[in-house]
């Protein structure tokens, strides 16, 4: 179990590194070739696409949970019934989602009328994305099957292959063709997803724990079970999509050409969060496995504190690194005007990484133990309030107002998740803070002061200088955390996260 948890986490981190590398190369090309308005429309389409993904009714997370529990009891027949019922639901949801995307393409057009080339691409773009979303819905069942068996490493391997191929294809389309670029990009994305889910399907049907999916195995009771569990999960998915609605907010208020100035700094923050999530993703089925094995709360407590500390170290280290990169990196990467216009966006979004470190495994614990109903309702309410605040912030203070509202929304959500998770496992807030986050407060504070002082002494303009300052920030935080924040055994647990024996070092 420990080796599998490490393998899943490490391959997830490798996947993220590759995603970041591909994005680093492609983002300037995308902005240059598509233009600010074209890039904005692409982000709008992806935002709409994300909303439609919520029509999967949360079946994916439900399959992960129930396959994990059935795997613990070695009930293969139960797994087959779960997967067959899930596939039935996913095909229906995929058809509905594809139809909605087609209707959007026929009846609506979000492209600015002054950009005739973008207007003409809207309909075929939506049609291709309709096919894409159907592929994703059908493939969700296979992915959830592998995740439920805690084979994230296999899924990550397939995703790495698809991402690399997608990156090469994107680059070729943008540099070797004359367009229509948005339509071509949509085709590349669709084919990449088709490969990924086909590979997962092959693993599900022909792997060591092969499954059987048949219409005769579809069960009303299992459909109800998946739906009831997934209903809360879909609320979380809708909430997540609301939180990522900034392109849909910016486009009508400030214009689609302004989306790029928010999205690019936001990408840096999201990569840091994804780096942590890639390690914490296997934690959800792990907590389900503990429950399926009837492990007591004492074991859960030890896992909570150990995993929280490791992920907090990662998130805070990424936070100080991102703050150090900041404007110089955006200026060198995309262009000085993007750094200047997005200066406060970069700073505010960088601060949200410290908010994300409040309780990094809270959501995973609640999902893994099937106690996420209240979490889902509160998250939806807080996300809707945040949406209103972002609209008001955009109307009053532009990108800065949207960024501040986003940070406030994330703070309220993280605090709520933490409180619910701590109550579920019987841990006090003070105990949680003392055992986890407060240990890193002094190292983080000292590191940030040094970062700002170094910036005033020498403003980096080249990639080596920018990366050197970021490395200094992360290194200083790591050393200070090692000396001031953790004990000897905890120090091994933290640093072995980057090594080859994470799970073996974190005491359970």
| Helix 441-457 vs helix 463-480: crossing angle, to nearest 10 | 150
Q: Does residue 508 belong to any structural domain of this protein?
A: no
Q: 404: domain range?
A: 249-502
* 283-332 tens-digit pLDDT: 666 676 666 656 566 677 777 887 788 788 888 888 888 888 888 999 99
Please state, in angstroms and rounded to a whole number, the distance separating the CA atoms of residues 38 and 463.
Answer: 27
Residue 506: the pLDDT is 40
> Among residues 173, 66, 186, 168, which one has the least CA distance to residue 126?
186
pLDDT surpasses 60 at 281: no
Choose among 259, 265, 264, 245: nearest CA to 112. Answer: 259
pLDDT given for residue 161 in this prediction: 95
Give the pLDDT of residue 184: 96
**Mean pLDDT confidence for 415-421:** 92
Residue listed under structure tokens 């910016």: 250
At residue 290, the pLDDT reads 64
Choose between 166 and 308: higher pLDDT. 166
Q: What is the rounded average pLDDT of the residues 156-172?
A: 95
Q: Do 440 and 383 have their domain in common?
A: yes
Same domain, yes or no, for 101 and 239? yes
Question: What pLDDT, on a 0 to 100 scale, did the predictor assign at position 31?
Answer: 92
pLDDT score for 208:
77
pLDDT at 198 (0 to 100): 95
Share of the chain above pLDDT 90, in %: 35
Are residues 210 and 255 located together in one domain of the fold?
no
Residue 105 domain-assigned (yes or no): yes
Query: What does the mean pLDDT of the chain come to?
Result: 84
User: In the structure encoding, which two tokens stand for residue 26, read together?
Assistant: 């492609």
Residue 1 CA, chain-centre distance (Å), reads: 24
pLDDT surpassing 50 at residue 353: yes
Q: What is the pLDDT of residue 55?
A: 78
Last residue of a domain, one of 192, 221, 244: 244
Of 97-111, 291-305, 366-380, which gets the smallest average pLDDT? 291-305
Tell whether 307 and 324 lie within a shared domain: yes
Residue among 370, 390, 386 nearest 378 (CA): 386
Tens-place pLDDT, residues 48-73: 888 887 777 788 888 888 888 888 77
Q: Are residues 218 and 351 in the same domain?
A: no
The whole-angstrom separation of Cα 299 and Cα 292 is 13
HEC states along 226-247?
HHHHHHHHHHHHHHHHHHCCHH
Q: For residue 115, is pLDDT > 70?
A: no
Query: Nearest Cα to 113, choosing from 302, 238, 316, 256?
Result: 256
Indicate if the pLDDT at residue 354 is higher than 50: yes
- pLDDT band at residue 482 under the 50/70/90 scheme: confident
Contact between 250 and 259 (Cβ < 8 Å): yes
Distance CA 407, CA 141 (A): 34
Identify the pLDDT of residue 272.
75
Is position 228 within any domain?
yes
Alpha carbon distance, N-terminus to C-terminus of the chain? 12
Please, are residues 198 and 339 in contact by the beta-carbon 8 Å criterion? no
Counting the structural domains of the chain, the total is 2
Both structure tokens of 199:
């590979």
Residues 167 and 301 occupy one common structural domain: no
- Across the range 409-437, mean pLDDT stands at 90
The band of 416, judged by pLDDT with boundaries at 50, 70 and 90, is very high
pLDDT of 503: 41
Is the residue at 507 inside a domain?
A: no
Q: 230 and 267 share a domain?
A: no
Q: Is residue 334 part of a domain?
A: yes
Decide: 111 and 119 in contact? Cβ < 8 Å.
yes
Above 50 in pLDDT, residue 26?
yes
217 lies in the same domain as 238:
yes
The least confident of 84-98, 266-280, 387-401 is 266-280
Q: Which of 184, 211, 244 is the last residue of a domain?
A: 244
Identify whether 343 is part of a domain: yes
Same domain? 271 vs 218? no
Determine the Cα–Cα distance for residues 99 and 503; give it in Å rounded to an integer. Answer: 45
Residue 433 lies in a domain: yes
Q: Give the per-residue pLDDT at 327.
A: 87
CA distance 216 to 90: 16
Question: Band of the pLDDT at 490, cuts 50, 70, 90?
Answer: low
- Judgement on whether residues 306 and 415 belong to the same structural domain of the protein: yes
Residues 213, 115, single domain; the answer is yes
Is pLDDT of 126 > 70?
A: yes
Higher pLDDT, 128 or 153: 128
Does residue 277 lie in a domain region? yes
**Which of 229, 244, 259 is a domain's end point?**
244
Residues shown for the chain: 508
Q: Cβ distance 364 to 12 under 8 Å?
A: no
Q: Is the dihedral of CA 228, 50, 246, 407 positive or negative?
A: positive
User: pLDDT confidence of 501, banded at 50, 70, 90?
Assistant: very low
For 212, phi then psi, to 5°, come to -125, 125
């Amino acid at each position: 179990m420990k080796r599998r948890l490490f393998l899943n986490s490490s391959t997830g981190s490798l996947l993220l590194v590759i995603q970041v590398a591909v994005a680093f190369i492609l983002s300037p090309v995308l902005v240059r070739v598509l233009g600010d308005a074209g890039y904005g429309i692409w982000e709008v389409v992806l935002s709409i696409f994300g909303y439609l993904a919520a029509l999967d009714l949360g079946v994916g997370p439900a399959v992960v949970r129930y396959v994990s529990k059935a795997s613990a009891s070695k009930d293969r027949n139960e797994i087959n019934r779960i997967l067959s019922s899930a596939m039935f639901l996913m095909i229906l949801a995929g058809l509905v989602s594809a139809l909605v995307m087609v209707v959007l393409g026929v009846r609506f057009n979000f492209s600015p009328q002054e950009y005739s080339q973008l207007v003409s691409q809207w309909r075929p773009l939506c049609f291709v994305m309709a096919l894409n979303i159907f592929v994703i819905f059908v493939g969700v069942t296979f992915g959830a099957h592998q995740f439920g068996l805690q084979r994230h490493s296999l899924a990550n391997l397939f995703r790495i292959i698809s991402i690399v191929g997608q990156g090469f294809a994107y680059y070729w389309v943008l540099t070797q063709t004359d367009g229509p670029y948005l339509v071509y990009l949509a085709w590349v994305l669709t084919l990449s997803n088709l490969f990924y889910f086909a590979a997962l399907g092959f693993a599900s049907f022909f792997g060591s724990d092969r499954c059987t999916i048949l219409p005769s195995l579809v069960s009303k009771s299992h459909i109800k079970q998946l739906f009831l569990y997934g209903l809360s999960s879909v609320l979380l998915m809708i909430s997540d999509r609301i939180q990522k609605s900034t392109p849909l907010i910016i486009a009508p208020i400030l214009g689609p050409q302004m989306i790029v100035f928010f999205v690019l700094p936001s990408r840096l923050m999201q990569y840091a969060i994804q780096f942590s999530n890639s390690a914490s993703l296997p934690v959800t089925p792990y907590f389900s496995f503990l429950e399926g094995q009837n492990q007591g709360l004492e074991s859960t407590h030890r896992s909570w504190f150990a995993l929280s500390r490791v992920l907090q170290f990662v998130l805070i280290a990424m936070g100080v690194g991102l703050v150090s990169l900041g404007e110089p990196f955006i200026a060198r990467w995309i262009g000085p005007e993007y750094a200047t216009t997005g200066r406060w966006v970069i700073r505010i979004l960088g601060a949200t990484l410290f908010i994300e470190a409040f309780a990094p495994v809270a959501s995973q614990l609640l999902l893994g133990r099937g106690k996420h109903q209240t979490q889902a309702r509160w998250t939806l309410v807080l996300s809707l309030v945040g949406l209103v605040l972002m609209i008001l912030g955009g109307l009053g203070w532009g990108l800065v107002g949207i960024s501040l509202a986003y940070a406030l929304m994330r703070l309220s959500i993280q605090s709520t998740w933490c409180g619910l998770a701590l109550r579920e496992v019987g841990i006090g807030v003070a105990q949680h803070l003392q055992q986890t986050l407060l240990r890193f407060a002094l190292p983080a504070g000292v590191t940030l002061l040094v970062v700002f002082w170094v910036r005033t002494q020498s403003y980096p303009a080249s990639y080596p200088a920018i990366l050197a300052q970021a490395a200094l920030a992360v290194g200083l935080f790591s050393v200070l955390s090692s000396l001031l924040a953790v004990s000897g055994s905890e120090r091994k647990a933290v640093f072995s996260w980057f090594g080859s024996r994470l799970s073996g070092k974190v005491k359970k």
